[in-house]
Amino acid sequence: MKIVEYELRRIHLPLVRPFRTSFGSQSDREVLIVKVTTEDAVIGWAECVAMSSPLYSPEYISGCLETMREFLIPALNRATDVSARTVSELLKPYLGAQMAKAALETAILDAELKIAGISLATYLGANKSKVPCGVSVGIAPSIEALVDEVTSYVEAGYKRIKLKIEPGWDIEPVRKIRALFPDKPLQVDANQAYSRSDSKHLKQLDEFNLLLIEQPLDEHDILGHAQLARIMTTPVCLDESIISLSSAQDALELEATSVINIKPGRVGGYLESVKIHNYCLERSIPVWCGGMLETGIGRAANLALAALPGFTLPGDTSASSRFFKQDITTPFEMVDGYLDVPNGVGIGVVPDMEFLNSITRSVEIISNK
């Protein structure tokens, strides 16, 4: 396949409410949308999940744009034939850049699957037509505000609640929510906010029957996570530390994690995600699909992945309305706590161009003619 044009578009979407994590608060989402056009004028779409600033990952939108423009797209353009399966090998000389690489691979995959006439879900190996929805709840201004927010999600039908935690916002909010919803699947996410010396403090979370504690320590502290996992009964789940299949294999072997959050952007794409999924499935390690406040473009592709058999825990696959008043695609609406997996060709959705243009801040075209 030949790609004749890459379009890199920055858009800005307001969030329905501010989203606060241990690394910062955001009230809007800037997104980099990638569009590829093949020589036969087939279009593929993808979303780069990097944030505006390097707070969650070293990658950030301006950096991804530069990496794509200066290195990744020229490398793809030098190849005579490009297919999604060859993208990671072609881009291997350029280190890191998982989010940028994932977006390019996914856009190419979307175009390729449109040509082949199959859906991403089928291609990846999905065995479900709908997936249960979890919701990620930010750090709230007060326990009362948290209770209100969580209650609204429980009433809306969410099957699992994830509470963001940080030092000073952990045991008490979790105690309160657990007391109100004794049977609700509940988990916490620290986004690296603790250190090894907090292990006794974190162990107090064991009394709340949590599904898991996500990324309590620094992303590089695999040993610390293994030590913590030994003393806690709550399963430790890694997110930021898992950037590839091999990092997942190492963390599992070292018993630093017993559950894995798979985020396609963080690991370099959907194909690498399937490899991690397959490795975990063979070993009965549960996995779930993380979220990065995706628009409908990224959400559609995540739903396809979350429909694979090893995704046995609800993911951060929430309805479009969790974050956005208006999505750039037909919104994903939750029915009885589930979202349908798109079954159209490719990722199964396309943006509403009028709305997309209205929220576009810049467009850059890189052609290969």
Q: Which residues are catalytic, by number?
A: 164, 263
Alpha-carbon gap, residue 304 to 50, rounded angstroms: 20
By beta carbon distance, the residue nearest ligand NPG is 291
| H-only helix segments in 157-211 | 171-180, 199-203
Q: Least distance (Å) from ligand NPG to the CB of residue 293?
A: 4
Q: How many CA atoms lie within 13 A of 129 on its CB side?
A: 3
Q: What is the closest distance, in whole angstroms, from the C-beta atom of residue 29 to ligand NPG in the complex?
A: 8
CA-derived radius of gyration, the chain: 20
**Which residues contact ligand NPG (rule: CB under 6 A)?**
51, 56, 136, 189, 191, 239, 290-294, 316, 318
For ligand NPG, the closer of residues 165 and 271 by Cβ is 165
C-beta of residue 55 within 8 angstroms of C-beta of residue 24: yes
Do 327 and 320 touch, CB atoms closer than 8 A? yes
Find the shortest distance in angstroms from Cβ 26 to ligand NPG: 8
To the nearest whole angstrom, how small is the minimum distance from the Cβ of residue 248 to ligand NPG? 16
Q: What count of other Cβ atoms lies within 10 Å of the Cβ of residue 223?
A: 12
Is 174 or 293 the residue whose CB approaches ligand NPG more closely?
Answer: 293
Among 320, 290, 295, which residue's Cα sits nearest to residue 305? 290
User: Within 10 A of 253 (CB to CB), how many other CB atoms are there?
Assistant: 9
Alpha carbons 48 and 61: distance in angstroms, whole number = 8
